[in-house]
């Protein structure tokens, strides 16, 4: 089955929020954001904006009728800043106009009197000053302190990993429509419809059921619309509430860049102890997360960092410390991988440093420490159906790693100004929301009298192929053609209390909920035919290819006849299904538990060529063996692996967020922030699926695929480093990501002395 929306996509007929014809009298909103990083608001001057032609309303904190609060986990985030602003671009006022241009002009007329306060952008500095969010956390296994003395080598170091802009092609947007009474309908490009519903209700001081949220599809999310679609929906709703008119709020690209959070940059310190043979005995890591101005999802992101601090490796003694540090930058948020890439990167740096000191190939130390069945993760869960070694060995065998390494070595011996590098990257990613209660989903299935089927779930289609997966699952479970199945929009009136579409778990949770609903309908349908000639017990009734079989024999009952008969017999053809992931829990007091339903494993091999004269590089080839369980739809899954990989490659190389001293984002649009393009992305990507035998949580034994592939991209950092070390043997290069051509060249020629130091406007890099 192809992507269910593919045909309407290629014809340009798929509708996004603002493609839907506008209702009459619709107004448009634009947002005024703080010009400073940190300051006390003395006065907001809106009178000039209000006086402009085409301006209908200007709304500030005092216009919020309910709670001016949208923090998803910790209530520390105002919808509109009332007294204090904490980052450049923080929303202060919403301007509503008769068209978007008027509204933007109105924004330009607003000024703010502000008493500036000291600002911090560095997470370690924030930590030292006590600017933290939540409590620091420590995950531990074994006894690290006792283990150091048993090690032949102990090395320590520091890492920096930069943030990442999501670059969803569709920017944040929402449309709010007042309904009769005090009800509202919200169209939002959100991964989290219930989150939008809850916060709109809270901001307007009304019960949740007053707000209906409708999501057809997203033009990409990548975590950026998990929590941060909420403010724009709330502002549109606030404007609709005040004006009584429909209001649309769509951010322009530069506004989206400036006002929304990104992947969290981390500063981390590590210490690792190994034996002479490369066995890791102890690992200690301290993560200082640059959370930005508010909590947002930062504490959950940090939790996943800590849970993935040992990645695919078994280390008997681990201590992983992490803290969310509050800084005066836009609040960082969910981004594909959700903290795991940062955790994995640090361990890979530690392993690289140990290998370099031991004079051992990095891949040797990596393989020696891979997880085996029943090994424990630092959080106590045991590795089950562990494919760390399986995928590693399959990848090295399938793609001929020893030969590739010899080829790279030979190349490097015969070339001076260009060098090749090769690196492996194993990934082990836990599937489930780490916040256990979020692991629930529901679905609503209707069968109509002609046999066509309508399915609603709490999952949001953002390109990942959820709707295709749900249709595949439903068709297989019902025994009918996917053409009979329609996947409805995601709507809070059909599905209540949804968890966000994130954590790679959307198909797992919602697909299983669909199966629960379908199970009920099938059970009723089987009762309908039981007792018909030749059908005596419903246990032996099955539906295959739209025909009822009894005990393996085809009957006269078609799907359509079955449905017609059920209907006329007054059988309920609708069902609600509910699914909650079984067997998971987490004890935060002990930092132990079984937080994940299962783990996804995989291994990537990445090869690069480095131009040692110019510091530029080309990613030549990527080879992947990925653990998929039993595939539902390989076209969809392959797309997730390839897309995630390239996003990860961008993260580690060219995607470079920079702010200046005033906290203004310098990489502020697509001209200054470069995401991978068709040339950057390697032509030569091969993906092999390890199709597992074991029964994963499903549905149908399928394993989650959304996030894990992103982390294959981490390997490119070490492939480039390998090439750099071939050019400058023995040099200890910094563990600073992204490894931009600038960072490469300055490190290759660290002796270069610029003749005179100009007075420069110093910029600091996001997280660096």
Site for another protein in 118-177 (CB under 8 A): 166-171
**Which is nearest to 168 in space by CA: 114, 222, 126, 208?**
222
Q: Which of residues 438-477 bind another protein (CB under 8 A)?
A: 462-465
Question: Residue 502 Cβ, how far from another protein at the closest point, in Å?
Answer: 15
- Binding residue (CB under 8 A) for another protein from 482, 681, 688, 734: 681
For the question of residue 488 being annotated catalytic, the response is no
d(CA 667, CA 765): 10
- Positions 585 through 624 that interact with another protein (CB under 8 A): 612-616, 618
CB of 663 closer than 8 Å to CB of 329: yes
Contact with another protein (CB under 8 A) among 50, 253, 368, 561: 253
**Nearer to another protein among residue 253 and residue 271 (C-beta):** 253
- Choice from 16, 131, 411, 549 touching another protein (CB under 8 A): 16
Q: Which stretch binds another protein (CB under 8 A): 38-46, 133-141, 231-239, 667-675?
A: 667-675
Question: Least distance from C-beta 219 to another protein, angstroms?
Answer: 3
Does residue 683 bind another protein (CB under 8 A)? yes
Nearer to another protein, 124 or 253 (CB): 253
Tell me, rounded to whole angstroms, the distance of Cα 456 from its chain centroid: 23
Q: How far is the CB of 147 from another protein (least distance, A)?
A: 40
User: According to CB under 8 A, which residues from 101 to 120 bind another protein?
Assistant: 101, 104-105
Scan residues 20-39 and list those touching another protein (CB under 8 A): 21
What's the rounded Cα separation, in Å, for the pair 38 and 114?
9
What are the backbone dihedrals phi and psi of residue 602, each rounded to the nearest 5 degrees, phi first?
180, 165
Binders of another protein in range 233-252 (CB under 8 A): 252
Sign of the torsion formed by the C-alpha atoms of 230, 192, 676 and 339: positive
By C-beta, is 180 or 751 nearer to another protein?
A: 751
Segment 342 to 371, residues that bind another protein, using CB under 8 A? none
295, 645, 690, 723: residue in contact with another protein (rule CB under 8 A): 645
Nearer to another protein, 180 or 761 (CB): 761
Of 132-140, 211-219, 340-348, 503-511, the window that binds another protein (rule: CB under 8 A) is: 211-219
Residue from 198, 353, 623, 638 touching another protein (CB under 8 A): that is 638
Which residue in the list 77, 255, 607, 707 is annotated as catalytic?
Answer: 707
Taking residue 765's Cβ as centre, other Cβ atoms within 10 Å add up to 20
Binding string, residues 402-421; x marks residues near another protein by CB under 8 A: --------------xx----
Minimal distance, residue 727 CB to another protein, in Å: 9
- Whether the bond between 408 and the residue before it is cis, its omega within 30 degrees of 0, is no
Judge whether 446 and 563 are in contact, CB under 8 Å.
Answer: no
Closer to another protein by Cβ: residue 378 or 463:
463
Grouping H, G, I as helix, E, B as strand and the rest as coil, residue 89 is coil
Backbone φ and ψ for 506, nearest 5 degrees, come out as -65, -45
Phi, psi (deg, nearest 5) at residue 111: -130, 160
Query: Could you say which residues in the range 385-404 bind another protein, by CB under 8 A?
Result: none
Say how many Å lie between the first and final Cα of the chain, rounded: 45
Contact indicator for 426, 371 with CB cutoff of 8 Å: no
Establish if 578 lies at the interface with another protein (CB under 8 A). no
Helices assigned H by DSSP within 290-387: 298-307, 340-358, 362-368
Angle at 156 between CA 763 and CA 744, to 5 degrees: 40
Contact call for residues 515 and 473 (beta carbons, < 8 A): yes
Cβ 157 vs Cβ 146: under 8 Å = no
Determine, following the binding rule CB under 8 A, whether residue 688 of this chain makes contact with another protein: no
Which of residues 9, 40, 209, 276 is near another protein by CB under 8 A?
9
DSSP state of 85: E
Side-chain-side CA neighbours of residue 404 (13 Å): 22
- Do residues 298 and 291 lie in contact, with contact meaning Cβ atoms separated by under 8 Å? yes
CA 665 to CA 544: how far, in whole Å? Answer: 57
Return the number of the residue (6 or 734) whose C-beta is nearest another protein. Answer: 6
Task: Output 1 or 580, the one with its CB closest to another protein.
Answer: 1
Q: Which of 149, 569, 574, 763 binds another protein (CB under 8 A)?
A: 763
Between 236 and 654, name the residue whose CB sits nearer to another protein.
654
Give min distance, CB of 369 to another protein, in A. 29
The angle formed by the CA atoms of residues 412, 418 and 421, to the nearest 5 degrees, is 55
| CA-closest candidate to residue 318, choices 497, 203, 183, 148 | 148
Cα angle vertex 679, ends 677, 683, to 5°? 115
Minimum distance of another protein from residue 580's CB (angstroms) = 29
Residue 685 makes contact with another protein by CB under 8 A: yes
Contact letters for another protein, residues 724-753 (x by CB under 8 A): ----------------xxx--xx--x-xxx
16 backbone φψ class: left, alpha, beta (φ>0; ψ -120 to 50): beta
CB of 559 to another protein, least distance (A): 27
The residues annotated with a catalytic role in the active site are: 707
């Amino acid at each position: 089955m192809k992507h269910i929306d593919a045909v309407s996509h290629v014809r340009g007929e798929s509708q996004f929020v603002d493609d839907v014809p506008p209702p009459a009298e619709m107004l448009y909103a634009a947002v005024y954001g703080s010009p400073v990083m940190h300051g006390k608001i003395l006065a907001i001057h809106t009178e000039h904006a209000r006086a402009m032609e085409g301006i209908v309303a200007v709304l500030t904190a005092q216009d919020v009728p309910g709670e001016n609060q949208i923090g998803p986990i910790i209530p520390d985030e105002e919808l509109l800043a009332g007294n204090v602003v904490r980052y450049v671009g923080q929303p202060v006022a919403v301007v509503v106009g008769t068209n978007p241009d008027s509204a933007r002009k109105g924004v330009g007329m607003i000024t703010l009197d502000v008493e500036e306060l000291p600002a911090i952008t560095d997470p370690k500095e924030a930590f030292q000053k006590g600017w933290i969010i939540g409590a620091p956390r420590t995950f531990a296994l074994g006894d690290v302190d006792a283990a150091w003395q048993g090690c032949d080598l102990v090395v320590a170091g520091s890492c920096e990993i930069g943030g990442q802009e999501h670059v969803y092609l569709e920017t944040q947007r929402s449309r709010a429509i007042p309904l009769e009474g005090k009800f509202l309908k919200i169209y939002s490009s959100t991964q989290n419809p219930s989150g939008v519903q809850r916060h709109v209700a809270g901001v307007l001081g009304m019960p949740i059921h007053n707000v209906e949220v409708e999501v057809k599809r997203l033009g990409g999310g990548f975590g950026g619309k998990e929590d941060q679609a909420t403010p724009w929906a709330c502002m549109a709703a606030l404007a609709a509430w005040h004006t009584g008119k429909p209001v649309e709020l769509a951010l322009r690209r530069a506004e989206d860049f400036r006002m929304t959070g990104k992947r969290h940059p981390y500063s981390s310190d590590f210490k690792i102890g190994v034996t002479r043979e490369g066995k890791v005995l102890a690992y200690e890591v301290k993560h200082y997360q640059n959370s930005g101005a508010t909590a947002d999802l930062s504490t959950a992101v940090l939790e996943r960092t800590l849970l993935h601090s040992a990645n695919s490796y078994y280390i008997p003694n681990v201590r992983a410390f992490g803290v969310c540090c509050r800084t005066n930058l836009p609040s960082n948020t969910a981004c594909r991988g959700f903290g795991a890439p940062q955790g994995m990167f640090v361990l890979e740096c530690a392993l690289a440093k140990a290998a370099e000191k031991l004079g051992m190939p990095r891949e040797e130390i990596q393989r020696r420490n891979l997880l085996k069945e029943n090994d424990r993760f630092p959080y106590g869960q045991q590795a089950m159906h562990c494919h760390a070694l399986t995928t590693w060995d399959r990848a090295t065998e399938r793609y001929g790693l020893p030969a590739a390494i010899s080829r790279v070595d030979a190349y490097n011996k015969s070339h001076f100004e260009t060098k090749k590098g090769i690196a492996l990257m194993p990934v082990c990613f836990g599937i489930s929301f780490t916040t256990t209660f979020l692991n629930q989903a529901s679905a609503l299935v209707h069968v109509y009298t002609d046999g066509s089927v309508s399915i609603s779930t709490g999952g949001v289609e953002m390109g990942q192929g959820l709707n295709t997966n749900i249709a595949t699952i439903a068709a297989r479970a019902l025994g009918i053609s996917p053409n009979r199945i329609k996947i409805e929009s995601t709507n809070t009136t059909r599905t209540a209390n949804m968890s966000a579409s994130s954590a790679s778990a959307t198909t797992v949770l919602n697909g299983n909920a669909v199966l629960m609903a379908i199970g009920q309908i099938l059970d009723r349908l089987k009762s309908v035919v039981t007792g018909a000639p030749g059908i005596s017990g419903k246990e032996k009734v099955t539906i295959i290819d739209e025909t009822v079989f009894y005990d393996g024999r085809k009957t006269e009952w078609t799907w359509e006849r079955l449905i017609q008969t059920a209907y006329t017999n007054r059988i309920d053809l609708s069902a609600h299904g509910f699914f909650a992931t079984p067997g998971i829990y987490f004890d935060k007091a002990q930092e132990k538990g079984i937080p994940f339903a299962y783990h996804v494993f995989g291994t990537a091999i990445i090869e690069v060529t480095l131009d040692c004269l110019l510091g530029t590089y080309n990613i030549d080839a990527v080879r992947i063996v990925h653990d998929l369980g039993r595939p539902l739809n390989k076209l969809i899954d392959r797309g997730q692996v390839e897309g995630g990989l390239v996003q990860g490659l961008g993260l580690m190389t060219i995607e470079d967020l920079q702010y200046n001293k005033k906290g203004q984002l310098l990489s502020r649009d697509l001209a200054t922030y470069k995401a991978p393009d068709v040339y950057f992305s390697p032509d030569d990507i091969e993906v092999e699926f390890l199709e597992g035998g074991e029964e994963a949580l499903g549905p149908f034994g399928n394993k989650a695929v959304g996030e894990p592939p992103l982390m294959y991209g981490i390997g490119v950092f070490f492939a480039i480093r390998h090439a750099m070390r071939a050019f400058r043997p023995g040099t200890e290069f910094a563990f600073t990501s992204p490894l931009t051509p600038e960072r490469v060249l300055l490190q290759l020629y660290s002796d270069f002395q610029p003749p005179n130091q100009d007075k420069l406007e110093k910029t600091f890099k996001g997280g660096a």
